Structure 1
Amino acid sequence: MNQALHMHMVPASDVAALRRFYVGRLGWSTWGPEMPGSLMVRAGTAVIVFLNRDYLAAESGIDLSATPRAINAIFVEEKADVDAQIAGALSAGATLTSPIRDRDGGLYSGYFADPEGNGWEIVWSPVMRPGADGGLDLKLP
């Protein structure tokens, strides 16, 4: 099963306001570890991740001036699925914006931009993976 997650880019100063709205007013629960300049919220199976725009643009390798407002993250079941999905995207006309790499925490991922300019990350992780309910579960070691 592949599970998509939407990551929105926001200025770091917006995170406190987003927390007040989603957690304080809507009652959504925070999801995952808290990091400076980021917010992860979940209501049922819906997960939204807000990340500092400069950080996400640097991670994705996409030029900040051309960076989309959001980057879609697709979590896959097997590590080899990262390579296969990115190879398929490239053959369909996508552009690789960062190399596929093993990252801290056991993450294995790569970023690409599709022909319409949308940003995508394909991710395999032993920590974050699809949940049986159709949402992403955070599996802490």
Structure 2
Amino acid sequence: MDQAVHMLMVPAGDMETLRKFYIDGLGWRSWGPEVPGSLMLRAGTVVIVFVPRDYLAAESGIDLSAVPRAVNAIFVETKADVDTQFAKAIAVGATITSPIRDRDGGLYSGYFADPEGNGWEIVWSPVMRPGADGGLVLATPENT
């Protein structure tokens, strides 16, 4: 699958401002289920998720000051692919920011930071898949 979602970490109070800018201003459309405190958007084949910084800190167990500005989520085909890609990243110098585990929402993933401090999440999910145009879509009875 190797589909990407770009997650940007923002202060929690910025969501309504961002919603007005991207949806009302740019015409991007909302994507996925409404999650309180988050904003999920789709522009063409790109999915962007705005997540409060304190959420990622709590989810990953790292200090709020160490939360990267952006995390790139890479979706792979199997849980074994998550394990393999994560192990390779650690072997070549990545730092674990949250170990691999089953997460809420049907995700199996782990977070790491590369040597430059960029955030990454390697993900397998039974509830997301690539759409016809290459962007991610939520798996529903209608499109599975």
Question: Is TM-score (shorter-chain normalized) higher than 0.5?
Answer: yes
Q: TM-score range by the shorter chain?
A: over 0.9
Gaps of 5+ in 1: none
* Between 81-90 and 121-130, the greater mean CA deviation after superposition: 121-130
Please give the per-residue CA displacement for 1:50-101, whole angstroms capped at 9, x wherever unaligned: 0111001222333221221111111111121100000010111111111211
Moved over 6 A (4+): none
Q: What letter is aligned with 1:103?
A: R
Q: Which residue of 2 aligns with 1:19?
A: 19
Q: Which residue of 2 aligns with 1:28?
A: 28
Q: What letter is aligned with 1:40?
A: M
Counterpart check, 1:96 vs 2:96: yes
Q: 1:102: Cα distance to partner?
A: 1.1
Please give the per-residue CA displacement for 1:34-53, whole angstroms capped at 9, x wherever unaligned: 11111011121121110111
Q: Which residue of 1 aligns with 2:127?
A: 127
Report if the CA contact (8 A) 2:29-2:43 is conserved: yes
Report if the CA contact (8 A) 2:9-2:53 is conserved: yes
Report if the CA contact (8 A) 1:2-1:76 is conserved: yes
Q: 1:138: Cα distance to partner?
A: 1.2
Report if the CA contact (8 A) 1:61-1:111 is conserved: no
Report if the CA contact (8 A) 2:56-2:67 is conserved: no
- Report matched runs for 1:1-141 at 5 Å: 1-140=1-140
Q: 1:113: Cα distance to partner?
A: 1.0
Using the aligned pairs only, state the percent identity: 78
TM-score norm. by structure 1 comes to 0.93
* Between 126-135 and 29-38, the greater mean CA deviation after superposition: 126-135
Q: What letter is aligned with 1:50?
A: F
Task: Quote the Cα distance in structure 1 between the aligned partners of 2:122 and 2:31.
Answer: 20
How many equivalent residue pairs?
141
Q: What letter is aligned with 1:75?
A: F
TM-score norm. by structure 2 comes to 0.91
Q: What letter is aligned with 1:120?
A: W
* Between 65-74 and 129-138, the greater mean CA deviation after superposition: 129-138
Report if the CA contact (8 A) 2:130-2:136 is conserved: yes
